[in-house]
């Protein structure tokens, strides 16, 4: 019996998938003969004719059919850390990037209030024109010192940092090569640059090496872009090997530390500390202020020449208003606390290890998770993934689903984000409840399929 169960489970999933596809086809037919028929397909001013809009209607119809709410854009009524409030309900929260629990820290709030009193809210101009403030320079000095490099530069958006910096550094004669699971901002930065673009299979550095060996000689410059910690899987690349590869192929290496800062390393200093390498061996450090540093925006850290060039040429910096001084002050204080209180990173590291260990022992599929602050629970199909998220919400646990195309087909998942302020008891509750609800949902799916 046990030998047959995996086969039956796979068969059940396939039958369910065919059923969902049939519903999608029916919804498409209904829309094409109903709503869509009322509109002239040549009407280019109708926003509903945009690519993908009809897919949104199909997914909405599927959700309504199964009694599922939209799991996104839920309104949090206060600070969202290890706990949150949604629609008047107090919840355990596993969908926050507040890794070290610094958002709302009394010292950060005090620093923010002081900055508001001194500078107001907005800088009211680009830094080139009249937006430069001492707090911007102080934050940039602190970030540069953190990475042990010459200088850094802060931007008002993390997404725009990748987009604008990659777009500015490369051109049609160059090559940008990134991990296949790289963030959309990295991919679109390559598109903006006009450079030739390649991607290598996730964390497969042998493939990266081979691709550079065959292609590098055809381009003037080459940029390798990876993430220090991947937000969909909670794993990380082999930084020493990347440095060796980029040196041998005469390429730049850019590491996106958005999720790594505060998470990796003994003190939470990031990817370089985790591997014990000199951060100056990486050409470009990129990161965001919106996660561990309890602010908003992005930064680049590296050589004087790199920062000087970007400061004078990168459109996302030159033509953008300066970062609000209150955000710069908040991030600066958060970085100071990160350095002063390494026990926060130690507690987060404990929580990440415990969550993945207990989840795996409980039979949950944690994919490529490496025991960091991000741990996926792979469900496979999108419909049961959304169902699971909703059932957990009803039982007091907020965790978001991620589905195709954000992840590969048949790899839909819940992403659990751990913080330093989660307790072992809360982690145990989340895992136990997830196991119970996933078993219930899969049982209902088998019944539904049998009745089809």
Catalytic residue among 202, 246, 274, 291: 291
Both tokens assigned to 234: 């909670």
Both tokens assigned to 216: 């590098």
Residue 13 is predicted with a pLDDT of 44
Architecture of domain 79-95+342-451: Alpha-Beta Complex (3.90)
Residue 1 is predicted with a pLDDT of 36
Catalytic residue among 96, 231, 290, 382: 231
The question of whether 311 is a catalytic residue gets the answer: no
Residue 450 is predicted with a pLDDT of 74
Residue 3 is predicted with a pLDDT of 36
Region(s) of the chain under CATH 3.90.1150.10: 79-95+342-451
Give the whole-angstrom CA distance, residue 120 versus residue 133. Answer: 12
Prediction pTM value: 0.89
32-50 pLDDT, tens digit per residue, is 444 444 445 557 889 988 9
Task: For 179, list phi and psi in degrees, rounded to 5.
Answer: -65, 145
Region(s) of the chain under CATH 3.40.640.10: 106-340
CATH number at 106-340: 3.40.640.10
The question of whether 291 is a catalytic residue gets the answer: yes
Give the whole-angstrom CA distance, residue 93 versus residue 80. Answer: 7
361-387 pLDDT, tens digit per residue, is 999 999 999 999 999 999 999 999 999
**92: helix, strand or coil:** strand
Both tokens assigned to 284: 């470009």
Catalytic residue among 146, 246, 259, 422: 259
Residue 35 is predicted with a pLDDT of 41
Contact predicate 154/139, CB 8 Å:
yes
Residue 452 is predicted with a pLDDT of 62
Residue 42 is predicted with a pLDDT of 59
The question of whether 259 is a catalytic residue gets the answer: yes
Residue 336 is predicted with a pLDDT of 98
Positions in the chain short of pLDDT 70:
1-42, 448, 452
Contact predicate 135/335, CB 8 Å:
no
């Amino acid at each position: 019996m046990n030998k047959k169960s995996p086969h039956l489970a796979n068969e059940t999933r396939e039958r369910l998938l065919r059923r969902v596809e049939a519903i999608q086809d029916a919804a498409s037919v209904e829309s094409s003969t109903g709503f869509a028929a009322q509109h002239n397909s040549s009407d280019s001013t109708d926003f509903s004719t945009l690519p993908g809009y009809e897919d949104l209607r199909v997914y909405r119809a599927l959700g309504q059919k199964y009694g599922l709410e939209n799991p996104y854009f839920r309104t949090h009524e206060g600070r969202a850390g290890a706990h949150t409030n949604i629609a008047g309900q107090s919840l355990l929260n596993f969908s926050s990037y507040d890794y070290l629990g610094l958002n709302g820290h009394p010292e950060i709030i005090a620093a923010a209030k002081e900055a508001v009193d001194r500078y107001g809210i907005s800088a009211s101009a680009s830094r080139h024109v009249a937006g430069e403030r001492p707090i911007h320079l102080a934050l940039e000095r602190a970030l540069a010192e953190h990475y042990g490099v010459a200088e850094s530069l802060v931007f008002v958006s993390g997404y725009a940092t990748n987009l604008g910096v990659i777009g500015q550094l490369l051109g049609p004669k160059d090559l940008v090569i990134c991990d296949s699971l790289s963030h959309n901002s990295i991919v679109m930065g390559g598109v903006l640059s006009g450079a030739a673009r390649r991607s290598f299979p996730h964390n497969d550095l042998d493939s990266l090496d081979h691709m550079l060996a065959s292609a590098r000689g055809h381009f003037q410059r080459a940029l390798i872009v990876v993430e220090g910690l991947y937000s969909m899987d909670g794993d990380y690349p082999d930084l020493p090997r990347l440095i060796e590869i980029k040196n041998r192929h005469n390429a730049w290496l850019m590491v996106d530390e958005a999720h790594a800062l505060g998470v990796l390393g003994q003190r939470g200093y990031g990817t370089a500390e985790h591997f014990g390498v000199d951060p100056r061996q990486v050409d470009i450090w990129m990161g965001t202020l919106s996660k561990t540093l309890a602010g908003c925006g992005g930064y680049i850290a590296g050589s004087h020449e790199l920062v000087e060039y970007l400061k004078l040429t990168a459109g996302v910096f030159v033509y953008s208003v300066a970062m609000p001084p209150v955000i710069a002050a908040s991030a600066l204080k958060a970085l100071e606390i990160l350095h002063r209180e390494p026990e926060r990173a130690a507690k987060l590291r404990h929580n990440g290890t415990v969550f993945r260990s207990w989840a795996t022992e409980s039979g949950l599929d944690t994919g490529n998770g490496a025991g960091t602050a991000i741990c996926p629970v792979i469900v496979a199909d999108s419909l049961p993934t959304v169902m699971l998220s909703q059932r957990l919400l009803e039982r007091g646990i907020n965790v978001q689903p991620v589905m195709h195309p954000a992840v590969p087909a048949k790899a839909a998942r819940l992403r659990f984000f751990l913080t330093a302020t989660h307790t072992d008891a809360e982690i145990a509750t989340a895992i136990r409840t997830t196991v119970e609800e996933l078993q219930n949902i899969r049982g209902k799916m088998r019944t539904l399929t049998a009745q089809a």
